[in-house]
C-alpha cells in the first residue's frame, strides 16, 4: 500500500515563504492533494495536482511534483498567521474506488 | 450548495457499547468515504460507499460497518467499542463513479471511548 511521509513541524516568520515537503511510495497515485486542518476542525482541500503534471500554481500556493523522486511540495508565499495549521499531503488513485492515503501531517507555525 | 455535514459533533461512549455516526454528503455528490483520525495522526481510510454499496475498504475489522441511503447520506456504525476507537471520524463526499473525483470533508465527529 501507499506510504506518505512528511516532516512533523515547520516554523516560519510572517511574510516569509513556507515549503512543506512530502514523499510517497506508490507511483500509481493519480491525484496528489494538499489538505489543511485547523485545530478541532475537519480537512479543507487546498489544492491538488494530477500525476502527469509537474507544477500547479493557485494564488499564494505552488505545488511541485517530482515523479522520479516521488516528492511533492507545497509552497505558501507571503505566509500569514492564519496559515498556522496542520498540512496533510495525500495520494489518491482512481482504480475502482478512490482510497486516499494521508501523511502524518506537518504542523506549520507562523511567528508574527 | 451545502457542504458535507456530520452529526453529532462530539460523543462519549463506554467500552463495549455501539455507536452510529451520520454524514450528509455535499449536494450533487453520490459517493461517501469514512476516515478515522487518531490524535496526532493522519486520517486512515475505513471504507467507501457508492450507490448504497460498499465500494472499497481499508484495514478495519468487521465491527466497523456502514450504510448509504438513496439520498447519498451515510452512517458509520461501530460495535463493541474499544478504547483505541477514540478518534475524530471524518466523512468525505465526492461525485463520479466510485468517487474518482476530489473528496470534500465534513468537520468530523469526535468520539471518546471510556
Per-residue model confidence as pLDDT tens for chain B (114 residues): 568 999 999 999 999 999 999 999 988 888 899 999 999 899 999 999 988 999 889 999 999 999 999 999 999 999 999 999 999 999 999 886 544 567 889 999 999 999
Give the model confidence (pLDDT) of A46-101 as tens digits: 998 888 889 999 999 999 999 889 899 999 999 999 999 999 999 887 655 667 88
| Residue A21 sits at the chain B interface (C-beta within 8 Å) | no
Q: What is the DSSP string of B26-53?
A: PTT--EEEEEEE-TTS--EEEEEEETTE
| Residue B109 sits at the chain A interface (C-beta within 8 Å) | no
Given B41, B55, B104, which is nearest A45 (Cβ)? B104
Q: What is the DSSP string of chain A?
A: ---EEE-SEEEEETTS-EEEEEEES-TT-SEEEEEEE-TT--EEEEEEEETT-SEEEETTEEEEEETTTTEEEEEESS--GGG-EEEEEEEE--SSS--EEE---EEEEEE-
| Residue B66 sits at the chain A interface (C-beta within 8 Å) | no
Q: Inter-chain contact A43–B56, Cβ cutoff 8 Å?
A: no
Please give the Cα distance from A31 to B29 (Å, whole number): 18
Amino acid at each position: 500500500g501507499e506510504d506518505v511521509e512528511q516532516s512533523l513541524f515547520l516554523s516560519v516568520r510572517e511574510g516569509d515563504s513556507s515549503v512543506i515537503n512530502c514523499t510517497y511510495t506508490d507511483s500509481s497515485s493519480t491525484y496528489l492533494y494538499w489538505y489543511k486542518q485547523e485545530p478541532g476542525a475537519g480537512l479543507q482541500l487546498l489544492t491538488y495536482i494530477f500525476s502527469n503534471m509537474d507544477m500547479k500554481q493557485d494564488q499564494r500556493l505552488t505545488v511541485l511534483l517530482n515523479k522520479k523522486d516521488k516528492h511533492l511540495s507545497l509552497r505558501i508565499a507571503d505566509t500569514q498567521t492564519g496559515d498556522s495549521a496542520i498540512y496533510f499531503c495525500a495520494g489518491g488513485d482512481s482504480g475502482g474506488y478512490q482510497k486516499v492515503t494521508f501523511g502524518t501531517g506537518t504542523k506549520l507555525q507562523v511567528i508574527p | 450548495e451545502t457542504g458535507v455535514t456530520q452529526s453529532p459533533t462530539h460523543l462519549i461512549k463506554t467500552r463495549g457499547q455501539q455507536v452510529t455516526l451520520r454524514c450528509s454528503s455535499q449536494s450533487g455528490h453520490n459517493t461517501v468515504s469514512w476516515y478515522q483520525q487518531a490524535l496526532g495522526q493522519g486520517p486512515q481510510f475505513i471504507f467507501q460507499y457508492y450507490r448504497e454499496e460498499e465500494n472499497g475498504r481499508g484495514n478495519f475489522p468487521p465491527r466497523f460497518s456502514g450504510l448509504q441511503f438513496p439520498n447519498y447520506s451515510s452512517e458509520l456504525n461501530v460495535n463493541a467499542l474499544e478504547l483505541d476507537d477514540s478518534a475524530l471520524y471524518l466523512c468525505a463526499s465526492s461525485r463520479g463513479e466510485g468517487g474518482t473525483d476530489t473528496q470534500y470533508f465534513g468537520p468530523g465527529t469526535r468520539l471518546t471511548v471510556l
